[in-house]
């Protein structure tokens, strides 16, 4: 960097630099401000979308509580279409799957759950979608595919549910030893006050004593 002996030389140097680079500097400032405003605008839009989706989802819950399945299905589809980038779209897909299971349409339930799994960006929703999808696949006699879907997943807070489901799948595949091991691991993972312990113990008792 050049050293300037006088204040006048510094001023002249700044003038020269601005003359040569002023346009580029101005353009850089404009671009930078545009990016900042774009980020702010997107955040506002994203917040608005999430709030609107939340209102729609609350109405969906009310329709489910009133057992108005047709209205709930229509609203869930609208949430998925209009608010696909929000978590409520995944919750809507889960609601659609629940209705379809109740209606005996496992194929449609499978599609909705697969969509939820593919689009979930929160670990909790991803685990819920995966577990429910595996349950539906088991009901559809897709045992190997269901096991493959959950086999590598640990699930942290959902670990006991994964182990129990693995046990159910192994049992359906006539693998009592593997089922017993999965049920035992699930039982060990549950808290003492969990109401699921009694059901798991019943499943273990039905398998009989280990050979």
Residue 7 has pLDDT above 60, yes or no: no
- Same domain for 84 and 111, yes or no, is yes
pLDDT recorded at residue 34: 46
With cut-offs at 50, 70 and 90, classify the pLDDT of residue 15. low
For residue 38, the SS3 value is helix
Task: Tell whether 183 is covered by a domain.
Answer: yes
- Same domain for 189 and 102, yes or no, is no
Task: Tell whether 102 is covered by a domain.
Answer: yes
- Same domain for 125 and 211, yes or no, is no
**Residue 180 phi, psi dihedral angles, 5° rounding:** -60, -45
Helix (H) or strand (E) holding 137: helix 123-139
Give the span between the Cα atoms of 186 and 183, in whole angstroms.
5
pLDDT recorded at residue 16: 62
pLDDT recorded at residue 194: 85
- Same domain for 116 and 167, yes or no, is no
- Same domain for 93 and 164, yes or no, is no
Of 116, 140, 164, the domain-final residue: 140
- CATH for 70: 1.25.40.10
Number of domains in the chain: 2
Task: Tell whether 8 is covered by a domain.
Answer: no
Least confident of 9-13, 90-94, 154-158: 9-13
- The number of residues making up the chain comes to 211
Residue 17 has pLDDT above 80, yes or no: no
Of 140, 170, 191, the domain-final residue: 140
Mean pLDDT of the 9-13 span? 59
- Same domain for 132 and 41, yes or no, is yes
- Same domain for 136 and 177, yes or no, is no
Task: Tell whether 148 is covered by a domain.
Answer: no
Stated pTM of the model: 0.75
Task: Tell whether 34 is covered by a domain.
Answer: yes
Task: Tell whether 16 is covered by a domain.
Answer: no
pLDDT recorded at residue 154: 77
With cut-offs at 50, 70 and 90, classify the pLDDT of residue 11. low
- Same domain for 85 and 107, yes or no, is yes
Between 19 and 188, the more confident residue is 188
Task: Tell whether 10 is covered by a domain.
Answer: no
For residue 64, the SS3 value is helix
pLDDT recorded at residue 33: 44
Structural domain that includes position 68: 30-140
Of 140, 174, 199, the domain-final residue: 140
151 token code pair = 């086999």
- Same domain for 115 and 162, yes or no, is no
Please answer whether residues 149 and 137 qualify as being in contact, where contact means their C-beta atoms are separated by less than 8 angstroms: yes
Mean pLDDT of the 27-43 span? 45
With cut-offs at 50, 70 and 90, classify the pLDDT of residue 4. very low
- Same domain for 110 and 53, yes or no, is yes
Closest C-alpha to 140, from 106, 182, 171 = 106
Task: Tell whether 5 is covered by a domain.
Answer: no
Per-residue pLDDT tens over the stretch 53-87:
888 889 999 998 999 999 999 999 999 999 888 88
Per-residue pLDDT tens over the stretch 168-206:
999 999 999 999 999 999 999 988 888 888 998 999 898
For residue 158, the SS3 value is helix
Mean pLDDT of the 31-39 span? 44
Please answer whether residues 169 and 146 qualify as being in contact, where contact means their C-beta atoms are separated by less than 8 angstroms: yes
With cut-offs at 50, 70 and 90, classify the pLDDT of residue 38. very low
Residue whose structure tokens are 């960006």 = 121
- Same domain for 52 and 99, yes or no, is yes
- Same domain for 160 and 202, yes or no, is yes
Residues 6+ apart with CB under 8 A from 68: none
Average pLDDT score over the chain:
82
pLDDT recorded at residue 37: 41
Mean pLDDT of the 145-153 span? 92
């Amino acid at each position: 960097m050049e050293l300037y002996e006088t204040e006048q030389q510094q001023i002249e140097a700044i003038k020269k630099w601005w003359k040569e680079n002023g346009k580029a500097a101005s353009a850089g400032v404009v671009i930078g401000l545009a990016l900042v405003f774009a980020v702010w605008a997107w955040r506002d839009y994203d917040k608005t979308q999430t709030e609107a989706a939340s209102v729609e989802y609350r109405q969906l819950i009310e329709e489910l509580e009133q057992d108005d399945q047709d209205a709930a299905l229509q609203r869930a589809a609208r949430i998925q279409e209009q608010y696909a980038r929000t978590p409520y779209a995944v919750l809507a897909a889960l609601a659609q799957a629940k209705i379809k299971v109740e209606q005996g349409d496992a194929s449609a339930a499978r599609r909705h759950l697969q969509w939820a799994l593919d689009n979930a960006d929160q670990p909790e929703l991803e685990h819920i979608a995966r577990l429910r999808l595996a349950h539906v696949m088991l009901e559809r006699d897709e045992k190997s595919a269901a096991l493959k879907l959950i086999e590598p997943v640990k699930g942290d807070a959902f670990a006991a549910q994964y182990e129990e489901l693995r046990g159910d799948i192994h049992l359906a595949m006539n693998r009592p030893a593997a089922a017993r091991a999965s049920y035992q691991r699930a039982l060990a993972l549950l808290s003492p006050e969990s109401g699921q312990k009694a059901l798991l113990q019943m499943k273990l008792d039905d398998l009989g004593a280990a050979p």
